[in-house]
Each structure stands twice: as structure tokens, then as C-alpha cells.
Structure 1
């Protein structure tokens, strides 16, 4: 198996009656998933989708996502899953930027899509999962297709996924990941994480995120059963783990924190769990220690980016002993995977730095993205001519080769696993008539890791009311991007050339902490 389409074709032939997916009360065998994706592929073809075309998807996690993913792959097309937490404006930008010909939407998100009436420039076919009186039903649209594999075979260099990652200019960027990128990681997952065809894999992160869609492919590659979580609820996840005898899961730290707080934690059955991989944001030692006590299984940390097709560094289970001689390694990201090159360079010079000296983390491997969708300038600024990807994170190595994340070159805020780029929030707040200047920074949060916070300067003669400004932001931004607090100051600190000194704004909030990320 070397492509997404070969995964479904292989398992449908080798284990047709084994359960591939469970979501709620719906389950699909590999044979059923293969047949459904054939029908969807035919429906997509009839809608004009061909090799290289994009198909938009807006819904929470569901089995239909995988029907579409494999259907698109069988045509050489690409599924573009959109963050369902975004506003209508943000969704519209992504769908138009991807030039999606077909847009599949969950019924609960149709009010949002209604706000985009006439604004979707390339969409020719709109299909609704769950039914909508004004649009064609996904089930009927799918079932009208022929159960015939179109037989298209993408190559390793063709695009497999197009995940959107917010950009520092305020507009999201489409990260192009090839089949080769994806399969640079999948074959090593058995050795690193112990996933096999007999595993039961919990898919809890949103599928529009590489931690969701990418982790799902780990289980799919091995042909095991995947338990798909539609609504992220700590109590519900605890019950799913026991009911389906889950063996493997990828969870974000904030969810591990919440799982320890609910009453179901006391009675949950975690006896089947072999390994929990966590990542997408840093974890605190108390949360990790509590999770280990609660679940009694092995834990591994994964570090990576959308641009690196997910994990490129792992902190293995043996380094997760809070009482052991290497307790300090709990603050490490881990060691690079086999075939992954890492180096620490001076952010200004590009020269490689010695052990223990913080600098920007650069990486080179078969998992590095092809580039950004129709954004040559963004690609050139992120990837060097000899293939090194600039992560934007600052870190250092210790004498044993462990990578530690120290800070960020870019101003990105990671809140509960979601990337928030201050420029996007700042652009919105600057539209408020009372705001003359603004800086958005990340401040520590015991729950989310970091939260956005706005420091603003009022226009002469105007007054900025923090709650009113937050309400204004909620009209234009997804909820997780809205600043949790607002501070009004006389002026923002800047260099003589006008560059904003965000470190000075962040410093009071992070004072006394070991590092400048949570």
C-alpha cells in the first residue's frame, strides 16, 4: 500500500467482513466502505470531478468523511475538509481558494452555508448529509452512483490531502501533502506505536486537522477498526473506550485534562488501552501524571506540524516516568523518527547551533509537504532550496539528542490544539471604530495551554470597552479565536522601525514559568 486508494482496495479484498468504521450506531465493514466509496466516486464523476479536482467537506466527524476520502482518492481527486468551527466568511474563503466543484455539508451547518448564498464561486453541486429540504440528500446522491471502482491509480507524488492551516497574513494556506508524504509515516507506526490489524483505534480529533485525519490513516493503513468520535465529550469518550475495547488513541492535552474531571472517570474501563499518543499542544506534568494514573497505560508524545504530515518526533513511553531518573524528559518533545533530519539554526543567520543553544527548528524528511496550494511565495519562505522546512518553533537539543520546544519564532498561539494566528484576529479588531492599534498575544491557560489576549490602543477621544470588543470579535471570528481578555494601553512597544515587540507584552503573563509556551 502506497496510496490512499490502495488502502481501501487492499483491505476490501483481504478482510472484507472486518469492521472498518464505527461512528455512533453506524458501522461499516471494509467491503461496505469500498462499495459506498465506489458509489460516491461515480456520483463525483457525474458531477464533473476528475483527477486533481477538489471536493469540499463541512461536517463533524462521521463515516461519510471516509466514504468521500476514498472516493476522491479513487478518482485522483482530493478531499478538502473544512474546519466546522469557522465563520461563514472563513469557510467561504477556503472553499473558494480550493476551487471545490462539489461541496458536501452536514445538515447542522446549512444555516452557515446559507450565509454564503452566491459567494461560493466554483461549487456546482451541493449535497447535504442528514437531509435538507432545499438540497439533495447525500445518501440518495451516493446510492444513485454505480458500485464500480473507477480504477484510477494516483502516484506517490500526487496530492493526497489538502489541510488548511491559518497563515500569518490572516488567510488560511492549503498545505499540500502527497501520498509519499503520508506513507513516509504510516509503515513506521507499528514499530513506534504498536498499531496492528487487531487494534481498535479511537479517532477523536477533528478530521480537518492532521491530528484527526492523519491519525485515522494510521489505523486505516493497518486495517483495524476505527471508532470515530463525532462530538468531543470527555464522558462519552470514556464510555466509548470501554464499550469498544479501544487499544490506541490520539488525544490532545486539554481532553486528557477534562477526562480526569468528570464522574465517569471513576468507573471507566481503560483495561483494553495499550497506548495513548498525545500532542497538538504542550502538556503539563500534573495533567500527564493524572492521565497515567487514570488510564494505567503507556503514553507517547508526538510533535509535528501540518506541513510535516504530522508527527516527526516522539517521546516514547519509557520516558514517561514522573518518578524516574529522567523525569526532566517529560518536558521534551522527544527524538526524531527514523529518516527525519532535524537541526537547530540561528533565526537570523541560518547557521546551525550547538547542543543546548535555542534556535529555530528545521526539518527535512519524506514527510515534508509539497508546498502551499497556489502560494509559491509562502512555500519559498518556508522551505529552503535543499529541502529544509522551517518550523517556526524555537527549540534545542540536550546531550542525549532529545528535542525541547522553547518558544515560537512566529506569533502563533496554540489553544486546545487549534492554531490561532494573531494577525487574523488583529485584522478583525482593527476594524472596530474605537481601536487605533492592537496586538494579540498568547497567555497561559491551565485548561487550553494558551489563550488569545488582546492589547489595544484606543483612538483619540474614543473609549474601548473590553466586553463590547469581544462581542464585536465574535461576529467575525470562530469562538476559539476570540480574545479571552482585553487590556487597554496608551501605546504598544515597537522598535524604531515600527516592529511590534510582542515579547514585551507576553513577558508579564509568562513570568516565573520555565519557558514561553505552556
Structure 2
């Protein structure tokens, strides 16, 4: 593929760096609002000046190109300033999950190599408990680096960074172990903005509302979608199912972003006038169960759009406007390749296997994990995800390899069981996971959040599921709970559910004498 074809995204700078993008957009878009966070609205011209001003303030505090600066901040404009200021200076920003504390927080601070940290008073005790040996700045304090709002021109020129220089280290959520630091180069963020924007059908002037935490790829990617496509990024404070549609309406958004449990949570809310009093027509919503697409579209007037990309990669699989299939991830996007294997051997179309991906774009993927060798440009990456590729090239997500449950000699997809159980009219949310069996394999357990005011009988739920699940995939254990433990980005903490396991109030199909109507 030619370099011209790979640069087909709208108006990407030749240098493929964040400072180059800021300079280009400041020239083109001037006073158009680029970012709004709470009461603060920043034009494209001001965004460039703020980046340079923050770079100057960081430099005055001793930060130099290549240094790593951590942030433990909520969704606020100071995190945008720090990210872009570090990029302008040639430093590397390390945005951290605000839920981290204790050993988890200490681990990421040590692993990142950051010697400076910007946080806010509410998280100061968490940082102090780690005995962080570096400099800790508190937002709003006299010693913290900050933007000089009186500046009208950039106080310093951008550093001579390249597309492959690191812009950020992002830590994975660590739902099954300690978080791993992903080395993300400048070009990766620009490719994120271009590719996802193309999938969403973005146009100049689109308003993108995202209330997911800004330490996560999803929200950071939204910032760059706005910058690449000449739109406006609205940084929401946090997700609230009860207040979501009011926030979306007030933002004036035309596009929004959902993740994890957010779709079923919104579907479970009682109807309200605000849920249709908005301008949003489409939402990026990875891993949404296929049966929720049409009900969500009918109720809220929004098309849900799936795709496959991770912190380590980019939008490798996706779809384009006018070419979508509910419940499918999509096809291979330009500039990437994908394969499906079992034990490193390619599988036939229609057969589940692990997804392997690689980038044909320079800097399209991350440069591996902290502590590991930098992978060769264009190297294949194991995703740990099971997918099915159809003969027509469309991919469907199956599950994580680690979520496969082994029971009675059969492999069971937790995702498939969740999909079936979630279609029961009284189920709001569901998580399926393995627990130990007396037979040295797994038993299937489901944690269920019933719909509001619904009375859910576990035996009735299993009878409902029998039509679509093999007998061995039916859960033996069912817990009815008021909520599922979620990460800051809406993923279910299955490790916590597995550790909790079978409790005194858990419904046990075996003890209750439940018998499947089919046993083969």
C-alpha cells in the first residue's frame, strides 16, 4: 500500500506528531471550539498556546524531553493541558487510573519511571501512601505547573519529536493482574483519530461527547478524532445512567461513546423526555450484544457502531457508514492486516480462533510494553481475543481466550452464555465466569442484575436459555445481585466475582433439582 493511500485521513500533517497537528489545526480552525471541559471552552488557537504554555511551565520545573510525567486526575481540562504540554515539550505523559491505590498505584508509579506527578487534593493521600519519591504537584497550588491564561502566543517552539517518539504510557486496566504500561507513540494517536473518525462518519463541526475517563484509550482517542476531523471534544465529568441523556443534550453532541455495561444500564432506565431530546445520531459502542442494537436504535434514535482496537493497537477491524452489520465487529480497515489462528495455525472461515493483527502504518501500533523489547515495525500481535471470520471477511467477536470455561470436556464461551441470558426480559446485566468444580474442571456461574421491579426466578432463566444453549453451558450457579463490580471504564471485574465465588445465597441448580430437558 502506498504512503499516499495510508495518509488518506483528512488533513493529517506530514510529520504525524501531536505538535504538528496542533499547529495545522490552529491555522485552519482558529476560533472554533476544540475542547470543552466543564465551564472551560478552548478554541483551536488557544489549544496550541495552552500546550506551549504548559510545556514552558514544565520546563521551568526541570522537565526535559523524554522525561515521564504522571497524572492522577479526574476528567478536567488540566489533564488535556498536561497531555498536550508534554507532547509539545517532547516529554511523555502517564495518565493513571484514579481508582488505583496501595500496591497497584505504587506499581504503576515505579513501572512508569515517572519522577513527577500532577494530582488533585482528593487523591493526595493515595499518593502519599505509596511513598512516591518524586515531586508531587497539586492542581491549583502555587508550585504546580499551569497554563498562563494571559498568553496569546506560544512561548516556545515545539520539540523536534518524530512520529515514533513516545507521547504517552497508558496502563491497561489490570482486571486479572497488575497493570501493564503500553508505550504509545505520537503517530498512534493521530491514526486513532483518523480511523475511528472515518468509521463514525465524522465531519467538520461534529460535537463529540465522551464521559469515559481520560486516562483510557477511548476518551483520549475521542480527543484526537475531534482534532483530526475539525470537530469539538466535550469531556464529560463521569458516567451516570440517570443523568446521561441530560448531559448529552446539554453538550449539543452529535456523536457519543459507550462502553462495557453502559448500554444495558441505559436500556434498564425508565423512559424520560431527555432520552430523545438530543442531536446524537451515532455512538461508538464496542462489544454491545447483537440483540440490543435495534431496541437501542428505536428507543434512543442512535446507531451503535462496533469495532476492534486495543490500547496496544488501533482500529484494526471496523465498518464504514452505510456498510454495517449489527453484532459484527467489521472488516479489516485500510492499513492493517488480521488473521485467525489456533495454536499458530490458520483456521478456516467460520471456525473460532485467536485474532492476530498487525499494522502497515508507520507508528500505527504501540511500541510494546514497558520492560519488553520494542517489537519490529509490522510485527504480528497476539490479541488474546477469540473471533470468527466469515467467508465474506466480516468478523464476529466470540470472547477472550481467558474467558473460555472448561466443563465436562467441553469449551464454553462466557460471552455466548452472557448473550443468551441477557435476552431474558427480566435481566438487566449479566456476567458469566468459572468457579471450581468437584470434578477438577469448572462450573458455570452467572451473576445477574434483575431489571428494576422484576422478580427473576433462576430456574425460569435456565429454561429460557435452553433454547439457545447446550445443556453443558447452562449455569449451575446463579447469584442475583444489585450491581456488578466494574472498572472505571465499565468492564466487569470478573476476577472479583471469581474470588467471591459461591456464597450462602447462591442458587444451585443441582441442589434445587433442576434438570435440563436435553442432555446431549
How many corresponding residue pairs? 421
Within 2, Cα distance between the matches of 1:186 and 1:140?
A: 25
Give 2:385's match in structure 1, choosing from 377, 393, 401: 393
Cα distance change on mapping 1:19 and 1:183 into 2, 3 Å: closer
User: Shift of the alpha carbon at 1:41?
Assistant: 0.8
Within 1, Cα distance between the matches of 2:326 and 2:275?
A: 26
Partner of 2:370: 373
Give 1:302's match in structure 2, choosing from 302, 307, 320: 307
Normalised TM-score (structure 1): 0.72
Partner of 1:360: 354
Cα distance change on mapping 1:187 and 1:45 into 2, 3 Å: same
SS at match of 1:483: helix
Structure 1 residues 35-46: aligned runs within 5 Å: 35-46=49-60
Partner of 1:245: 252
SS at match of 2:306: strand
Partner of 1:231: 238
- Residue 216, structure 1, aligned to residue 223, structure 2: yes
Partner of 1:71: 85
Partner of 1:183: 190
Cα distance change on mapping 1:237 and 1:21 into 2, 3 Å: farther
- On the 8 A contact 1:203/1:227 being kept in 2, the answer is yes
Deviations 1:177-211 (A, max 9, x none): 22232333433445322212211011222111111
Partner of 2:285: 278
Partner of 1:200: 207
Within 2, Cα distance between the matches of 1:228 and 1:370?
A: 27
SS at match of 2:316: strand
Deviations 1:150-178 (A, max 9, x none): 42131111112211115698332211122
Structure 1 residues 19-418: aligned runs within 5 Å: 19-116=33-130, 119-121=131-133, 123-124=134-135, 126-130=136-140, 136-137=143-144, 139=146, 148-166=155-173, 170-263=177-270, 265-279=272-286, 282-309=287-314, 311-316=315-320, 318=322, 329-346=325-342, 348=343, 350-365=344-359, 366=361, 367-376=364-373, 387-411=379-403
- On the 8 A contact 2:68/2:112 being kept in 1, the answer is yes
Cα distance change on mapping 1:385 and 1:208 into 2, 3 Å: closer
User: Shift of the alpha carbon at 1:143?
Assistant: 8.2
Deviations 1:38-68 (A, max 9, x none): 2211121122211111110111111111111
Give unmatched runs, 5+ long, in structure 1.
321-328, 414-440, 458-473, 490-510, 513-518
Partner of 2:25: 11
CA RMSD of aligned residues (A): 3.5
Once the two structures are overlaid, the 10-residue window that deviates more, 149-158 or 286-295, is: 286-295
SS at match of 1:32: helix
Normalised TM-score (structure 2): 0.72
Give unmatched runs, 5+ long, in structure 2.
1-12, 406-413, 423-427, 439-484, 504-515
User: Shift of the alpha carbon at 1:144?
Assistant: 11
- On the 8 A contact 1:189/1:218 being kept in 2, the answer is yes
User: Shift of the alpha carbon at 1:91?
Assistant: 1.6
- On the 8 A contact 1:451/1:484 being kept in 2, the answer is no
Within 1, Cα distance between the matches of 2:404 and 2:64?
A: 36
- On the 8 A contact 1:253/1:287 being kept in 2, the answer is no
Within 1, Cα distance between the matches of 2:140 and 2:429?
A: 32
Within 1, Cα distance between the matches of 2:31 and 2:124?
A: 35
